[in-house]
Structure 1
Amino acid sequence: MSTIYPNLLRKVKGVSQKRERVELDDGDFIDLDWSYSAVSNSKKLTVIIHGLEGNGQRQYMLGLARHLNHNGWDSAAINLRNCSGEVNRLYRSYNAGASEDLDRIIKHILTTYTYTNISICGFSLGGNIMLKYLGEGRSLASEIKTAAAISVPCDLYDSLSEINKPKNYIYQQRFINHLKAKLYDRQIQFSDTLTTSDIRACKSLMDIDNLYTSKAHGYENAMEYYSKCSSRQFLKHIEVPSLILNAKNDSFLGDLCYPFDEAKKNPNLFLETPDYGGHVGFYLPNRVYYNELRTLNFFEQPN
């Protein structure tokens, strides 16, 4: 219920979004959904990244955007490739390690706008992308001040193993059906690379990652994809103050997704594990949920 109620029954109102299409160097595109605070020419921006099969209109995305907007922050919600309602142009799509796309978006924002205080918040898969981006050793812009990862699967295979358990059967099937539907759309465009029979044969998330996700993004198979893209291995290198908020009752996360040792060793990493919250839930009996309160507090007063 910690996961299902907030994600299926919450209705966030009062967020007005404006879409911007960012053309990428490889010929593809990513759509950003902007929402603004009442502060004229705010210099504070949060870039928000959704989770698996999400988009900029998911309630958890809108809830955070609304809370930020009400407190003087603009927000830019990234719709990862193939997640904005239009099939992307290239065979590749998005994946849990697509930090290069986040890098492109950050650079676009820095060269197009005048924000001096940029924070990043990633939910679930988006949190893994963000942490990987921060810890890969690239030179980060001084405008990036803080970051928050909510319900993040720091070890992708560990999380997959947890999702495969009977308690998550409904969610697992929902993810599989959504991903296969997108693959069927992609097959029409790339029939020489992907066949309907191959898609039909996929019975699990790992099957999909072996057939498509890994191959389309340059990995040999699903296990190599999980190994190279899991953010846990990059946490020790993060230099931007970063919050990881993973609830203890998150049914999608195994033990390896709670990086206690890395947080102890890295003074820039703040791991918080409340007893409740589910997966991207964190319900509170009012308009603002706990993860939204905590994220804004961390961005404005990092510990």
Structure 2
Amino acid sequence: MAASPFSFSPSRSFPPLRSFVPAMARSFSSSSPKHNGDDPQEPSLSNLEIVGARRALLSSFASLKKPYKPFPLIAWNRHVETIFAAFFRSAPDVALRRECLRTSDDGAVALDWVSGDDRRLPFDSPVLILLPGLTGGSDDTYVRHMLVRARNKGWRVVVFNSRGCADSPVTTPQFYSASFTKDLSQIVDHVAKRYPKSNIYAVGWSLGANILVRYLGQESHSCPLSGAVSLCNPFNLVIADEDFHKGFNNIYDRALARALRNIFKKHALLFEGLEGEYNIPMAASAKSVRDFDEGLTRVSFGFRSVDEYYSNSSSSSSIEHVRTPLLCIQAATDPIAPSRGIPREEIKENPNCLLIVTPQGGHLGWVAGDEAPFGAPWTDPVVMEFLEYLHKERATSTQNSYWDELNGARKSSSSVTVHIRS
């Protein structure tokens, strides 16, 4: 599996864990923007960091009327919260129908649709594409909860299982990577052709989020998506790699390397006899994700070194090119997607982007909100409200969405009252 050490799905082999540092959380909370009682547009959440020129629109979200409150005991420590979410979060039962799609390089990916929705839902229903984290797929609990929530709102949902994930077939000696967007591009085009009257949106977690944001930046003005959400995005993979090898994170590194080895072994015959800089024995016996990337990933995707792979695969450099409405949600204490790697200034300068950082959360955890501790992550209602907001504006506008109009107003220097965190 073309891996990165910082974006992965926690609910399969052994979860990457999150670090709750009380002092950091207190410092973060005290520096967060406070509610301005004189301004009705200002969101009331004093313990969230909110960045972006369009932050005022969040005031209309019911899910953001109350402060972020993690579930007691479970969320006191990043490791406890992430492990709990990975192993004890409920998994909604939903019947899926698999579609295997041949890629342009003769590879294959698997799309999991909700069974029967091709008959039950209107042909022009909005479509939501879900991109799980590294080694993740349609069985992951965080994916299932988002899928069910969107489906209950009348959205058509499809999970994009990357090569080798969730038993997706592998037909060529190449998996996927943090830098690889061609499969996603083909999936979006495929969905757009199948449902030409539908608006298409996407949500990505961890590695899936990094790939999604890179795709948004690459497509820029021609992106077919009407909106997107990035969750637990590592953003700066060099910084994320540095933190991944510190302290307790080494346990996750070894565990994830073991999971990657197991996936690789299922398809090892495809990699026999490869020439060039491949080091197949290193990948097959990798004790760390970096070893796996050195032996296989960086060579597969044309990088001269692992460091070059991480540097050139970071989605932080894509933010300035994003022209699609994008909401990014991060947790301040995430050791896998460090807070210091979040491109705050780039997000603040791009009128198409919004950022919410919670003081706690755990990697793919967020054990908070009305459904805690066993239900959906705190992020799900926020994500859905954002997507519904975008879709409503698309549906009610004759030419441009409200978001586009605001963007145009900003470019023409019109007076718009916003509150941007400095």
Q: TM-score range by the shorter chain?
A: over 0.9
Deviation at 1:200, TM superposition (A): 5.2
The residue type paired with residue 212 of structure 1 is L
The CA distance in 1 between the partners of 2:339 and 2:256, in whole Å, is 22
- Asked if the contact 1:131/1:235 (under 8 Å) is kept, the reply is yes
Is the alpha carbon distance of 1:82 and 1:139 closer, same or farther for their aligned partners in structure 2, counting shifts above 3 Å? Answer: farther
Q: Mean Cα displacement is larger for which, 273-282 or 37-46?
A: 37-46
Q: SS at the partner of 2:104?
A: coil
The residue type paired with residue 335 of structure 2 is S
Deviation at 1:61, TM superposition (A): 0.8
Counterpart selection for 2:381 from 262, 273, 293: 293
Q: Mean Cα displacement is larger for which, 217-226 or 34-43?
A: 34-43
Deviation at 1:42, TM superposition (A): 5.0
Q: How does 1:170-249 map to 2 (within 5 A)?
A: 170-193=251-274, 197-199=281-283, 201-249=285-333
Is the alpha carbon distance of 1:122 and 1:70 closer, same or farther for their aligned partners in structure 2, counting shifts above 3 Å? Answer: same
1:69 — aligned with what? 151
The residue type paired with residue 146 of structure 1 is G
Higher relative contact order (CA 8 A, sep 6+): 2
Q: Mean Cα displacement is larger for which, 245-254 or 190-199?
A: 190-199
Is the alpha carbon distance of 1:69 and 1:55 closer, same or farther for their aligned partners in structure 2, counting shifts above 3 Å? Answer: same
The CA distance in 2 between the partners of 1:39 and 1:45, in whole Å, is 11
- Asked if the contact 1:122/1:150 (under 8 Å) is kept, the reply is yes
Deviation at 1:172, TM superposition (A): 1.7
TM normalised by structure 2 equals 0.68
1:24 — aligned with what? 103
The residue type paired with residue 249 of structure 1 is T
TM normalised by structure 1 equals 0.93
Q: SS at the partner of 1:149?
A: strand
Deviation at 1:41, TM superposition (A): 3.5
Q: Mean Cα displacement is larger for which, 272-281 or 199-208?
A: 199-208
Q: Does 1:263 align with 2:347?
A: yes
Counterpart selection for 1:10 from 89, 111, 120: 89
Q: CA offsets, 1:109-147, max 9 Å, x none?
A: 1112235211110000000000000012455355x2110
Q: CA offsets, 1:49-82, max 9 Å, x none?
A: 0111111211111111011111111111000011
- Asked if the contact 1:56/1:79 (under 8 Å) is kept, the reply is yes
Is the alpha carbon distance of 1:265 and 1:139 closer, same or farther for their aligned partners in structure 2, counting shifts above 3 Å? Answer: closer
Structure 1, gaps ≥5 residues long: none
- Aligned-residue Cα RMSD (Å) equals 2.0
2:134 — aligned with what? 52
The CA distance in 2 between the partners of 1:271 and 1:253, in whole Å, is 14
Counterpart selection for 1:167 from 248, 256, 273: 248
Structure 2, gaps ≥5 residues long: 1-79, 391-402, 404-422
Identity of aligned residues (%): 25
Q: Does 1:126 align with 2:200?
A: no
The residue type paired with residue 34 of structure 1 is W
The CA distance in 2 between the partners of 1:25 and 1:200, in whole Å, is 27
The residue type paired with residue 66 of structure 1 is V
The residue type paired with residue 90 of structure 2 is K
Deviation at 1:279, TM superposition (A): 0.9
State the number of aligned residues.
302
The CA distance in 2 between the partners of 1:283 and 1:275, in whole Å, is 12
The CA distance in 1 between the partners of 2:217 and 2:283, in whole Å, is 34
Compare CA radii of gyration and give the structure with the larger one: 2
Q: CA offsets, 1:11-39, max 9 Å, x none?
A: 22232211111111211111001124964
Q: CA offsets, 1:249-301, max 9 Å, x none?
A: 21212244321111111011111101121111112352332111111011112
